[in-house]
Amino acid sequence: MRIATFNVNGIRAAQRRGFGDWLARTDPDVVALQEVRCPPEQVPTEAFEGYHFSYDAGSLAGRNGVAVLTRTEPEAVRTGFGSREFDHEGRYIEVDLPRLTVASVYIPKGGTPYEDEASLAKHERKLRFLDKFSRELTKSRRAAARAGREFVVMGDFNVAHTERDLKNWKTNKKSEGFLPVERDWFGSIVSPRTLTDVVRDLHPGTEGPYSWWSWRGQAFTNDAGWRIDYHLASRGLAERAVRGGTMRDDTYDARISDHAPVVVDYDFTHLPATGDPDE
């Protein structure tokens, strides 16, 4: 089973830049999308031919929006995670498939406590999101296990976990996305008994593979990127990851988004019924 996550930075712009061709060429079974940024009635559904499209657009015009594309019609679709502050923003969706629950998340970029009051407010807001979201992850993972499903949450986490996940980490120690409190949070949601950072397990000890590069300057050309797009999977699924990483475009002009898709192939044959390791 081929599973992908892709922050498309606006599905209509991505479609003009070749998203449909990428989807046909890659032929994934499941795709988590972030920053779809499109009212439901204006989504270019021709780009998703052959897929069921589960979408939470949110209520912020031109912002956010998360979706899951699946070859198989989902058995259930859920949006949000019980947060009055965030659930209207189109930042979290999960779908149930046979033997698998798939979630797509778009975490706020945030700010820093070092600049001004506006940046501090963004920083504190992101921390509130992370706190609520970590509880949702535990809840969703355990619910999937009780139902005999594995669990994978994918998307733009807007956090580079370690120094290997950020090219210029020395100059970004006080930047949002690489703050100690954010990195500590990320470390708290991954463990052998909970969720596994699948691509890091497939590429241990290496730099990257990065998934985001600024549109500006020579960041893409010099591969000065951040690894902020992840597959976090329950143990039973993570152990069946065969290959995967970032599908980085060959040239700047070929880019569909400022993010690259992260694609992993899982051996889903004879997947046993899961159990909750925490219970």
Looking up residue 88, the CATH number of its domain turns out to be 3.60.10.10
Radius of gyration of the chain from its Cα atoms, rounded to whole angstroms? 18
Quick one: how far is CA 178 from the chain centroid?
17
**Does a structural domain hold residue 276?**
no
Domain-embedded: residue 275: no
CB atoms within 10 A of CB 89: 21
Residue 79 lies in a domain: yes
Two tokens, residue 232: 């976090």
**Residue 36: exposure state from Cβ atoms within 10 A (0-12, 13-18, ≥19):** buried
Q: What is the pLDDT of residue 152?
A: 98
Query: What does DSSP say about strands 150-156 and 229-234: parallel, antiparallel, or unpaired?
Result: antiparallel
CA 95 to CA 275: how far, in whole Å? 19
How many domains does the chain divide into? 1
Residue among 132, 126, 135 nearest 181 (CA): 126
Tokens encoding 268: 């889903």
Supply the pLDDT for residue 42. 93
pTM: 0.94
39 found inside a domain: yes
User: Quick one: 188 exposed, middle or buried, by C-beta within 10 A (0-12, 13-18, 19+)?
Assistant: exposed
Contact criterion met (CB below 8 Å) for 14 and 55 = no
Domain containing 117 equals 2-266
Q: Is residue 13 part of a domain?
A: yes
pLDDT score at 22? 97
Question: Along the chain (279 residues), what's the average pLDDT of each consecutive run of 10 residues?
Answer: 97 96 96 96 92 95 93 97 94 97 98 93 97 95 97 98 97 96 98 96 96 95 97 97 96 96 90 54
- Give the model's pLDDT for residue 61: 79
* Domain contains 136: yes
pLDDT at 279: 47
How many other CB atoms sit within 10 Å of the CB of residue 264? 25
The answer to the question of residue 135 being in a domain is: yes
Residue 278 lies in a domain: no
